[in-house]
Amino acid sequence: MNSRAPHDPHAPRVAIIGGGPAGLMAAEALLAGGAQVDLYDAMPSVGRKFLLAGKGGLNLTHSEPIEAFVQRYGAQAPVVGRWLQALGPQALREWAQGLGISTFVGSSGRVFPAEMKAAPLLRAWLHRLRAAGLTLHMRHRWNGWQPGDSPFDLHFSTPQGPQAARADAVVLTLGGASWARLGSDGAWWAWLDACGVALAPLLPANCGFDVGWSPYLAERFAGAPIKSVRLMFVDDAGQRFDRPGEFVLTATGIEGSLVYAASALIRNQIARHGSATITLDLVPGRSVARLAEGLAHGRGTRSLPNHLREHAGLEGAKAALLRERYSADALARRVAEAPQALAAELKAWPLTLRAARPIDEAISTAGGVRLEALDEGLMLRAMPGVFCAGEMLDWEAPTGGYLLSASLASGHVAGQGLLRWWQHEGAAAARIAG
């Protein structure tokens, strides 16, 4: 893929709609197979969400054993696992190396580019894709199919006015519905629904939750981190989450890496019951006995905040959580009269979550095109010649490199699937239609 090859007149003309990682990876697979590829995107440039995700350090994938890696995809692990057989975590690192981007494994097992940035990788990738023949059409917003259209008739709004295109096959990589300002607004859902494609409702994933704090906490501690905490949750089906980490208080509730990791279970529980109660171990490094002993230690002239800090390790945002249940006087009495009971509470502090934050605030999206609506090459069973990949499919994963890995792998699978379809069925269908 280092130079532009002459176009094969028998190769398919493919339109990819969506310029995120899945769309670009589909383009790479298709160009390698000789296809003529036009990529359309509504934004002024490709990879907008990819660049934003890499602003603080692009988490490309994860180094854990592949068996554990695949299980991160929950109920969809068997299908996503097949995508990862085609382009897994190690292959992804080798792919990046082929672009001149070396990677390293961080202390958490996450894999990052050596420069920690997304932009150099994206620049190198686009250079290679353009050299291979990719044609980019920016500021082309797809408007769905119009009555009487075939799936290969495409209509776009552009700064120059309406434009139409026709392709031999189409790859949709339109993202979910989070961060709509970067291009993924979920408008495609209604268009595919009208075509009889089986869809699951779009839901926020890797999201925060509303609690409903007092004005005291909302005004004084929004943005404050809760560090060195353990989050525990068991849903009504018996699925269990229990992990240490940290999260952040917001003006309305909680968000952050530890919350995102549990968000699918919590979101689904709220959908069933209207709320979900998690349990926090606010002082995971201390036993109940040690906490009770510290709390029972005479306060003397120390203030209550100083006593909690010195003898229970509670201060700042953690101490503010106690104020959500107890007034200052009630907490002082609890410390003096029932230190053992308070110590037990601190090791299992309940927090009721009322609602997930809106989908546009979420890091990613659950729901979308149901995987059973696709064949193994990610072609829509209801629309032969139309393929889908990336976040618009009905799968989800925690942060940590798993989202990007599966999106890239699905794009590769869709590109390969389209080439196989064209070889066996698509070319003949195009001759009949044309």
Structure tokens at 285: 């490094």
Q: For position 182, what pLDDT does the model report?
A: 77
Q: What is the model's pLDDT at position 98? A: 96
Query: Cβ distance 63 to 111 under 8 Å?
Result: yes
The residue whose two tokens read 């660049």 is 51
Other Cβ atoms closer than 10 A to 177: 25
How far, in Å, CA of 270 to CA of 274, rounded? 5
pLDDT of residue 427: 66
Whole-model pTM above 0.85?
yes
* Domain 13-204+361-433, CATH class in plain words: alpha beta
- Residue written as token pair 């059973």: 372
Q: What per-residue confidence (pLDDT) applies to 302? A: 76
- Distant-in-sequence, close-in-space partners of 356: CB < 8 Å, separation ≥ 6: 203, 204, 207, 208, 209, 210, 263, 266, 267, 270, 362
pLDDT of residue 2: 38
- Give Cα 6 to chain centroid, integer Å: 38
Q: Which amino acid is at 346?
A: L
Predicted pLDDT at 433: 52
Cβ atoms within 10 Å of 237's Cβ, excluding its own: 10
Question: How far is it, in rounded angstroms, from Cα 142 to Cα 110?
Answer: 35
From the number of C-beta atoms within 10 Å of its C-beta (0-12, 13-18, 19+), residue 297 rates as middle
Task: Name the stretches of the chain with pLDDT < 50.
Answer: 1-6
d(C-alpha 44, C-alpha 141), whole Å: 11
**Start-end of H helices in 313-434:** 316-323, 328-337, 339-346, 402-421, 427-433
Q: Domain coordinates of the chain in residue numbers?
A: 13-204+361-433, 209-356
How high is the pLDDT of residue 1? 36
